[in-house]
């Protein structure tokens, strides 16, 4: 779905490249998580895949990106956004309406979805996001988590094949954060949308994302299945990326017991692993 | 010492807290927990007097916040906001740190202020000539923290200090605060969504739910009360969650280290029995 | 103050009026307030404003707006009364002409500002933009700029409030009673406010573009905004308001 080959980008007026020699693939139907310390180039990568780079941010662009077969350089942002939906870090700046329903209508109207199709699209998106009950609500009266869901719903109403989210849970409490990830999981598994999410909460990423990409100083430090990437816990810590404590426990146990154990990414796995260690 | 006596605050349909009563002694490290919209920020703003209680009272060192001005209290109580951009208003990091000092530490004199600014710059690893708005979000948060800590407040209030920070920046900020708490008895009151951070640093936890205080106790004890956590939409830190599931033999476990040791202990116990 | 401009969902007669009708009525009230020179008629217009607020089911909002405006009004009243030196003195240095002129100025201010603020409370912002495009054939770009600017007001106020709060907490005397001193303290804060506003408007532009902003045409709008009998009734009422202002 997404292919990036030896991509480098330097913002106009900057000396150091924001991203350097990035090569990666996200398959159709994949769920990829991007993590890395501040200034690692996470947002730049999201902008490049969604085409906001180079259309809104000029600079030196090397290498090649293909999104669903389209090259963002030759494709207008509008055409690209038919394939890639982007949910921005600052939800407030993305919202254009005062009522939930209108927010979903906005993109549908713009892209010229036939008017007879609109009610169905609207209802489907509200259902997929699990916010049917908020349809008539004023956006100002919603909580942070609800607003985030509205922002995501307004993008999935456009039926993109790829959904990119830039720190969607940044200002949310743990329970609302999990709800957002559970929703992304549904969108990914039940509706086949490819999801790419930038996130600082490693616990959520390692549990939900199937592919983990660790960026550091504009380069890919590690990429692969979450379990595999997390097995480099000590190196990750050096880069400024923490690892979930159950993963750390797996590593401690495998060290102390002197036998290789898989790295756990959630409580269920960890519980089973510890019980296994006690009973063998 | 901070005392809240039946303090309530309501504003339209929005932020509301009811009947808060608790005391925070000098040198404590307290975390305030709760879901989005539970009233945590309102509570800390009441403590600082940025909001005045609509009924009840809030006392800082015996003085009612309703009669003293916030700007006069800035010497005693520092407040680190969630968004550093609302706090930063100068063109260089040096000016920014000196600005807060000049406002409340006139007693230090010009030389004293310069010396204190230099000290903070060294401590935080800034040259002083950086432009705050060209720094990263985490760096800006550090600038804001440096200018709050520079005045050496007796109490510091942190409203989600780790939002938007990566792990290293978060650890840097929390270690700095933790040291001031230990060495200078600075009282720390922190609103935080990251339960691992709360477990690592705070000693006492208050839980706010629907605008009311529903729990107050040592951090570990609060995190082991499953019914309470479910009621206030809080998820326990991972290893405590694990220890709750595993039960016997893991009751005291809070860190991955301790969990691994418990496993080894139980295994040797079993071998001995066999 | 922050929620002053926010939409209040509802299904009242006023809510259901065509957005263009609401704007027209607002403009008519403004024009009438400037044509008339009589205090009783201005008071009548004020009653019309409040009546609209009650009919729309947002009486608290209407009174809230009135309360906010009264604060500015008191200041303006004193200033105006002091400036006008004609007429016979009635009380201290105030003259009768001064007091009458000041009353008119203040009443006009309130009468004009109230419906402007209330339109936003009873009209969905996207309806406003769509109706301007469909009915008045305003290019969408301008309609979007207008509605975005309106959406920015509460965000801007919130940002300003947040900045002032943060500065107060670090010892800047924003809680002083002296209004001039407060104003002086606010000036240096314009830079951070400007920076965050520019950042936000850039983000808004990009976010709108990836949602097909450039594709939008007059026919894009899903909802239609036909004129109903109620709209005609309001138009008739508007004509009467203007006639009243001219004749009375």
Q: What is the pLDDT of residues B53-85, one digit of tens each?
A: 999 999 999 899 888 877 778 889 999 988 888
Query: For the segment C14-56, what is each residue's pLDDT rounded down to a tens digit?
Result: 999 999 999 999 999 999 999 998 999 999 999 999 999 999 8
Q: In this structure, are C205 and C232 located in the same domain?
A: no
Using H for helix, E for strand and C for coil, what is the string for B176-194?
HHHHHHHHHCCEEEEECCC
Cβ-Cβ contacts under 8 Å for B153 (sequence gap 6 or more): B74, B75, B76, B77, B78, B186
Residue C100 lies in a domain: yes
* CA–CA gap between residue A266 and residue A271 (Å, rounded): 9
Query: For the segment C85-104, what is each residue's pLDDT rounded down to a tens digit?
Result: 788 887 777 888 888 889 99
C-alpha angle A204-A210-A211 in degrees, rounded to nearest 5? 100
B74 touches chain C (CB under 8 A): yes
A181, B195, C155 from B241: Cα distances, Å: 19, 11, 39
A101: left (phi over 0), alpha (psi -120 to 50) or beta: alpha
* A-B contacts (CB, under 8 Å): 108
Of the partner residues C126, C151, C222, the one whose CB lies closest to the CB of residue A115: C222
Find the largest Cα–Cα distance for chain B.
75
User: What is the model's pLDDT at position C3?
Assistant: 64
* CA–CA gap between residue B8 and residue A260 (Å, rounded): 56
The token pair that represents A161 in the structure block: 């094949």
Question: What does residue A21 show for φ and ψ, rounded to 5 degrees?
Answer: 50, 55
Question: What does residue A177 show for φ and ψ, rounded to 5 degrees?
Answer: -60, -45
Identify the sign of the CA torsion B57, B59, B65, B66.
positive
User: What is the model's pLDDT at position C185?
Assistant: 79
User: What is the model's pLDDT at position B120?
Assistant: 92
DSSP A263: P
Q: How far is CA B197 from the centre of its chain?
A: 10
Q: In this structure, are C22 and C66 located in the same domain?
A: yes
Minimal Cα–Cα distance from A264 to chain B, Å? Answer: 12
**3-state SS assignment for residue A77:** helix
Residue C129 lies in a domain: no
CB contacts, 8 Å: A112 with chain C = 215, 220
Of the partner residues C3, C166, C188, the one whose CB lies closest to the CB of residue B87: C166
* CA–CA gap between residue A23 and residue A216 (Å, rounded): 14
Cβ-Cβ contacts under 8 Å for C28 (sequence gap 6 or more): C238, C241, C242
Contact B23, B58 (CB under 8 A): no
The token pair that represents A66 in the structure block: 């293909």
A174, A177, A213, A266 from A203: Cα distances, Å: 10, 11, 14, 8
The token pair that represents B11 in the structure block: 């504003």
Which residue in C170, C178, C182 has the most chain B C-beta atoms within 10 A of its own C-beta, making it the best mutation to test that interface?
A: C170
Which residue in A244, A274, A280 has the most chain B C-beta atoms within 10 A of its own C-beta, making it the best mutation to test that interface?
A: A274
* CA–CA gap between residue B118 and residue B127 (Å, rounded): 9
* A-C contacts (CB, under 8 Å): 101
Q: Do C206 and A97 touch (CB under 8 A)?
A: no
Residue C92 lies in a domain: yes
Q: In this structure, are C204 and C87 located in the same domain?
A: no
Residue with the two structure tokens 């290789």: A260
* CA–CA gap between residue B88 and residue A76 (Å, rounded): 38
Percent of chain B as helix, strand, coil, to the nearest 5: 45, 20, 35
User: What is the model's pLDDT at position C179?
Assistant: 74
Minimal Cα–Cα distance from A39 to chain B, Å? Answer: 7
Q: In this structure, are C159 and C60 located in the same domain?
A: no
Q: In this structure, are C154 and C229 located in the same domain?
A: no
- Count helices and strands in chain C by DSSP H and E runs: 10, 2
Question: How many distinct structural domains can be found in chain C?
Answer: 2
C203 touches chain A (CB under 8 A): yes
Q: Which fold has domain B2-232?
A: Rossmann fold (3.40.50)
Q: Do B168 and A240 touch (CB under 8 A)?
A: yes
The token pair that represents B92 in the structure block: 């260089």
Residue C198 lies in a domain: yes
* CA–CA gap between residue A125 and residue A128 (Å, rounded): 5
A97, A150, B78, C109, C202 from A94: Cα distances, Å: 10, 11, 33, 34, 10
Contact A231, A263 (CB under 8 A): yes
* CA–CA gap between residue C124 and residue C135 (Å, rounded): 16
Average pLDDT per 10 consecutive residues for chain A, totaling 280 residues: 95 91 94 91 93 91 93 91 90 89 93 92 91 90 87 93 92 87 93 94 92 95 93 89 92 91 92 89
Average pLDDT over residues C111-123: 88
- Which has the closest alpha carbon to A208: A176, A229, A186? A186
Contact B159, B80 (CB under 8 A): yes
Query: For the segment C156-177, what is each residue's pLDDT rounded down to a tens digit?
Result: 888 888 888 888 888 877 777 7
Which residue in C2, C155, C166 has the most chain B C-beta atoms within 10 A of its own C-beta, making it the best mutation to test that interface?
A: C166
Q: Which helix (H) or strand (E) holds B23?
A: strand B16-24
B147 touches chain C (CB under 8 A): yes
Query: For the segment B192-227, what is each residue's pLDDT rounded down to a tens digit?
Result: 989 999 999 999 999 999 899 999 999 999 999 999
User: What is the model's pLDDT at position A18?
Assistant: 94
> What is the span of the domain harbouring residue C37?
1-124+224-248
Q: How far is CA B76 from the centre of its chain?
A: 16
Q: In this structure, are C84 and C116 located in the same domain?
A: yes
* CA–CA gap between residue B31 and residue B44 (Å, rounded): 11
Domain boundaries, chain B: 2-232, 237-274
Count CB neighbours of A23 within 10 A: 13
B135 touches chain C (CB under 8 A): no
Which residue in B32, B36, B223, B237 has the most chain A C-beta atoms within 10 A of its own C-beta, making it the best mutation to test that interface?
A: B36
pTM: 0.87
Burial class (CB within 10 angstroms; exposed 0-12, middle 13-18, buried 19+) of B162 = buried
User: What is the model's pLDDT at position B14?
Assistant: 57
Q: In this structure, are C247 and C213 located in the same domain?
A: no
Q: How far is CA A156 from the centre of its chain?
A: 14
pLDDT < 70 positions in chain B: 12-15, 274
**Chain B residue with Cα closest to C158:** B86
* CA–CA gap between residue B221 and residue B238 (Å, rounded): 15
* CA–CA gap between residue A248 and residue B266 (Å, rounded): 19
Of the partner residues B48, B71, B85, the one whose CB lies closest to the CB of residue C172: B71
Give the strands of the sheet with B63-64, arranged side by side: B16-24, B2-10, B55-60, B63-64
Give the orientation angle of helix A144-156 with respect to helix A174-191, to 10 degrees.
20
User: What is the model's pLDDT at position C2?
Assistant: 54
Residue with the two structure tokens 């309530």: B8
Parallel, antiparallel or unpaired: strands A59-67 and A2-11:
antiparallel
Domain boundaries, chain A: 1-83+163-173+198-226
Q: In this structure, are C117 and C7 located in the same domain?
A: yes
Q: Domain A1-83+163-173+198-226 class?
A: alpha beta
The token pair that represents A21 in the structure block: 């020699």
Cβ-Cβ contacts under 8 Å for C242 (sequence gap 6 or more): C28, C31, C32, C35
C100 touches chain A (CB under 8 A): no
Residue C146 has pLDDT above 60, yes or no: yes
Residue C155 has pLDDT above 60, yes or no: yes
Query: For the segment C192-246, what is each residue's pLDDT rounded down to a tens digit?
Result: 788 778 888 888 888 988 888 888 888 888 888 888 899 999 999 999 999 998 8
User: What is the model's pLDDT at position B12?
Assistant: 63
**Interface subset of A 35-64, CB within 8 angstroms of C:** 50-52, 56
Parallel, antiparallel or unpaired: strands A211-216 and A31-35:
parallel
Q: Do B193 and A173 touch (CB under 8 A)?
A: yes
């Amino acid at each position: 779905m997404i292919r990036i080959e030896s991509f480098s980008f330097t913002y106009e007026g900057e000396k150091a490249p924001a991203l350097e020699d990035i090569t990666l693939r996200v398959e159709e139907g994949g769920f990829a998580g991007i993590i890395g310390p501040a200034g690692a180039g996470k947002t730049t990568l999201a902008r490049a895949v969604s085409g906001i780079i180079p259309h809104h941010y000029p600079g030196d662009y090397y290498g090649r990106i293909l999104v669903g077969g389209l090259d963002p350089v030759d494709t207008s942002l509008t055409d690209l956004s038919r394939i890639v939906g982007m949910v921005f870090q600052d939800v407030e700046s993305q919202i254009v309406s005062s009522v939930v329903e209108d927010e979903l209508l906005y993109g549908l109207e713009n892209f010229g979805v036939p008017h007879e199709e609109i009610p169905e699209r609207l209802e489907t998106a509200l259902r997929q996001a699990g916010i049917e009950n908020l349809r008539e609500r004023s956006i100002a009266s919603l909580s942070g988590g609800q607003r985030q869901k509205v922002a995501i719903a307004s993008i999935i109403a456009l039926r993109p094949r790829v959904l990119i989210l830039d720190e969607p849970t940044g200002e949310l409490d743990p329970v609302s954060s999990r709800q957002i990830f559970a929703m992304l999981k549904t969108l990914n598994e039940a509706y086949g949308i490819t999801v790419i999410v930038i996130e600082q909460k490693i616990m959520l990423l390692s549990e939900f994302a199937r592919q983990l990409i660790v960026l550091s100083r504009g380069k890919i430090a590690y990429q692969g299945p979450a379990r595999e990437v997390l097995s480099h816990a000590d190196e990750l810590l050096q880069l400024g990326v923490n690892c979930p404590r159950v993963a750390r426990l797996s590593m401690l146990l495998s060290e102390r017991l002197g036998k290789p154990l898989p790295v756990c990414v959630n409580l269920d796995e960890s519980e089973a692993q510890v019980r296994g260690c006690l009973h063998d | 010492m901070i005392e809240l006596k039946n303090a309530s605050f309501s504003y339209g349909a929005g932020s509301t807290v009811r009947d808060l009563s608790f005391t925070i002694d000098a040198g404590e490290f307290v975390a305030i927990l709760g879901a989005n919209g539970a009233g945590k920020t309102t509570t800390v703003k009441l403590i600082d007097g940025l909001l005045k209680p609509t009924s009840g009272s809030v006392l800082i060192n015996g003085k009612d916040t309703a009669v003293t001005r916030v700007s006069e209290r800035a010497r005693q109580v520092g407040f680190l906001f969630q968004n550093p951009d609302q706090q930063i208003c100068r063109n260089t990091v040096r000016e920014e740190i000196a600005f807060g000092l000049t406002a409340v530490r006139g007693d230090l004199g010009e030389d004293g202020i310069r010396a204190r600014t230099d000290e903070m710059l060294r401590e935080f690893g800034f040259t002083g000539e950086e432009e705050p708005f060209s720094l990263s979000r985490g760096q800006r948060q550090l600038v804001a923290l440096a200018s709050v800590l520079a005045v050496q407040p007796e109490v510091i209030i942190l409203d989600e200090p780790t939002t938007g920070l990566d792990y290293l920046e978060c650890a840097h900020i929390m270690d700095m605060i933790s040291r001031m708490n230990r060495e200078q008895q600075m009282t720390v009151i922190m609103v935080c969504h990251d339960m691992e951070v709360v477990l690592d640093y705070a000693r006492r936890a208050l839980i706010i739910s629907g605008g009311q205080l529903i729990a107050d106790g040592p951090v570990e004890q609060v995190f082991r009360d499953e019914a309470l956590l479910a009621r206030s939409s809080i998820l326990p830190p991972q290893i405590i969650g694990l220890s709750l599931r595993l039960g016997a033999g893991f009751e005291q476990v809070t860190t991955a280290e301790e969990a691994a040791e418990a496993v080894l202990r139980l295994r040797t116990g079993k071998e001995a029995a066999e | 103050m922050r929620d002053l401009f926010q939409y209040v969902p509802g299904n009242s007669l006023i809510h259901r009026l065509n957005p263009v009708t609401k704007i027209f009525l607002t403009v008519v009230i403004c024009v009438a307030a400037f044509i008339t020179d009589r205090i009783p008629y201005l008071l009548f217009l004020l009653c019309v404003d409040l009546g609209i607020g009650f009919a729309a089911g947002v009486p608290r909002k209407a009174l809230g707006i009135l309360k906010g405006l009264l604060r500015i009004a008191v200041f303006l009243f004193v200033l105006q009364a002091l400036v006008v030196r004609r007429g016979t003195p009635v009380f201290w240095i105030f003259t009768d002409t001064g007091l009458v002129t000041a009353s008119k100025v203040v009443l006009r201010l309130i009468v004009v500002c109230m419906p402007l603020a209330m339109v936003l409370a009873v009209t969905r912002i996207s309806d406003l933009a769509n109706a301007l495009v469909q009915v008045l054939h305003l290019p969408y770009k301008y309609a979007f700029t207008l509605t975005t600017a309106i959406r920015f007001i509460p965000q801007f106020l919130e940002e300003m409030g947040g900045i002032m709060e943060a500065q107060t907490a670090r010892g800047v005397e924003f809680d002083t009673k002296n209004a001039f001193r407060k104003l002086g303290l606010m000036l240096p804060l314009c830079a951070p406010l400007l920076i965050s506003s520019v950042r936000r408007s850039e983000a808004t532009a990009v976010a709108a573009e990836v949602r097909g902003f450039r594709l939008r045409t007059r026919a894009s709008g899903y909802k239609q905004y036909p004129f109903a009998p109620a709209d005609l009734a309001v138009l008739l009422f508007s004509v009467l308001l203007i006639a009243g202002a001219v004749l009375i």
